[in-house]
Amino acid sequence: MSSAVWFTLIGMLLLGVGLTSSLLKRTPLTAAMIYLAVGIIVGPTVLNAFHFNPLKESRLLEVLTEGAVLISLFAAGIKMTTVPSTAPVGGEVSPPAPQETRLGDKPQSGFLFEARRWGTPIILATAAMALCIAMIAGFGWYVVGLPVGAAILLGGILAPTDSVLASDIEVDHATDDGQLRFTLACEAGMNDGTAFPFVMLGLGLLGLHDLGESGWRWLAVDVAWATAAGIAIGLVAGSALAHLGWRLRGHPGHHELLDDFLGLGLIGVVYGVSVMVNAWGFLAVFFAAVALRRTEFRLARQRHVVDDNVTVTSTVVTTEGGDVTVVAVDTVTVDPGPSVSQGALVFKEHLERLSVVVMILLLGGTLFRDSWTWEPVALAVFLFVVARPVSVLLCLLGSKTSWQLRGMSAWYGVRGIGSLYYVMFAIQHGLPESLALKLVQLTLIVVTLSVVVHGLSGKAMAAVLWRRPQAAT
The domain ranges of the chain are 3-471
Is a pLDDT exceeding 70 seen at residue 280? yes
**Mean per-residue pLDDT for 185-205?**
91
369 — pLDDT class (breaks 50, 70, 90): very high
Domain 3-471 part of CATH 3.40.1310.30: no
CA dist 19 and 13 (Å) reads 10
Q: In the chain, pLDDT over 70 holds for what percent of residues?
A: 78
Higher pLDDT, 175 or 120: 120
Task: DSSP letter for 98, please.
Answer: P
Higher pLDDT, 179 or 326: 179
pLDDT of res. 130: 95
Q: In the chain, pLDDT over 90 holds for what percent of residues?
A: 50
CA dist 6 and 93 (Å) reads 45
463 — pLDDT class (breaks 50, 70, 90): low
**Mean per-residue pLDDT for 215-237?**
96
Is a pLDDT exceeding 50 seen at residue 470? no
Higher pLDDT, 181 or 276: 276
**H helical segments located in 79-225:** 115-123, 129-139, 148-158, 179-194, 196-205, 216-217
pLDDT of res. 317: 46
392 — pLDDT class (breaks 50, 70, 90): very high
The DSSP line for 340-356 is HHHHHHHHHHHHHHHHH
CA dist 151 and 155 (Å) reads 6
Is a pLDDT exceeding 50 seen at residue 111? no
Higher pLDDT, 155 or 253: 155
**Mean per-residue pLDDT for 198-208?**
96
- Judged by average pLDDT, the poorest of 111-115, 342-346, 380-384 is 111-115
pLDDT of res. 404: 78
Residue 15, SS3? helix
pLDDT of res. 81: 53
Higher pLDDT, 322 or 144: 144
Is a pLDDT exceeding 60 seen at residue 105? no
pLDDT of res. 227: 95
**H helical segments located in 327-473:** 340-364, 374-382, 388-395, 403-411, 417-428, 433-467
pLDDT of res. 116: 67
pLDDT of res. 26: 80
Q: What is the pTM of this model?
A: 0.84
**Mean per-residue pLDDT for 196-218?**
95
Is a pLDDT exceeding 90 seen at residue 362? yes
pLDDT of res. 352: 84
Where does residue 318 rank: exposed (0-12), middle (13-18), buried (19+ CB within 10 A)?
A: exposed
CA-to-CA dists, residue 323 to 68, 314, 326, 327, angstroms:
59, 19, 10, 12
- Judged by average pLDDT, the poorest of 49-53, 212-216, 228-232, 300-304 is 300-304
pLDDT of res. 394: 95
Is a pLDDT exceeding 70 seen at residue 303? no
Is a pLDDT exceeding 90 seen at residue 432? yes
Digit-coded pLDDT (tens) for 139-168: 999 999 999 999 999 999 999 988 777 665
- Judged by average pLDDT, the poorest of 41-55, 361-375, 395-409 is 395-409
464 — pLDDT class (breaks 50, 70, 90): low
Phi, psi of 452 (to 5 degrees): -80, -55
